[in-house]
Homo-oligomer: A and B are copies of this chain.
Amino acid sequence: MPPDSAPPDPPRAEVRRAQILAAAGDCFRSKGFHGASIAQISRIAGMSPGHIYHYFENKEAIIAAIVAQDLEHVLAMTASLRVACNMKEAMVEHVADGVARNLEPRTAGLNLEILAEAARNPHVAEIVRSADRVCRDSLGRTLRDMRRASGHDDDEATIAGMIEVLAAMFEGLASRSIRNPHLDRDVVVRLFQGALRDLLSQNP
């Protein structure tokens, strides 16, 4: 449950809202944002089509809510990772998790759907970008501390660049899982660990 800042709503409404979001998640994953219809979502959510409009202004609002919900998960994960990973080797150990998560077909599909929608829907783009900003800030602090601790003195641009490279690598796995579903995950993990080590200990 996201710790919503919204005023205390009747619990009934919250349950209903959650049902809609769950159903919409399923439909969006399998049909895409524009391939899934309100009728379909309402059937899976166990309510009438019209009733959905008591909780969401329109279909775009449902899309936005799904995107926000999904990114909040990522945000929470990033935050917890920051606490656990003050050291380089700890990060390297987490690579296996990160690779597995990003290769998961269901995750990959919805992520790509979100990005494609963000590429043409400014509202969704803003949600995606603001979540990314938070992730980058958090990862940036971790990275700067780590590099300082090992004697390097990087400028901001280099830190930001490292984050982009890291992010591109992991986010690129979604693309890889679609294009080459039979890729050898273990080898990828091994090489990712090597690349990460090199990236984090390189001289400027």
Count A-side interface residues using an 8 Å CB cutoff. Answer: 56
Which chain B residue lies CB-closest to A155? Answer: B187
Distance, CA A126 to CA B158, complexed state (A): 39
Report A63 CB to chain B, min CB distance, Å. Answer: 12
Nearest chain B CB to A145 CB, angstrom units: 19
Which residue of B has the minimal Cβ distance to A132?
B179
Residue ID in chain B nearest A128 by CB atoms: B179
The quantity of this chain's copies bound in the complex is 2
A180: interface (CB < 8 Å): yes
Cross-interface CB contact of A157 among B118, B187, B195, cutoff 8 Å: B187
Residue of B nearest to A203 (CB): B194
Q: Which residues of B contact A117 (CB under 8 A)?
A: 32
Q: Which residue of B lies closest to A181 (CB)?
A: B129
A sample of 11 inter-chain contacts (CB < 8 A) reads A34-B34, A35-B120, A128-B178, A158-B187, A164-B184, A164-B191, A168-B169, A175-B175, A194-B202, A195-B195, A198-B199
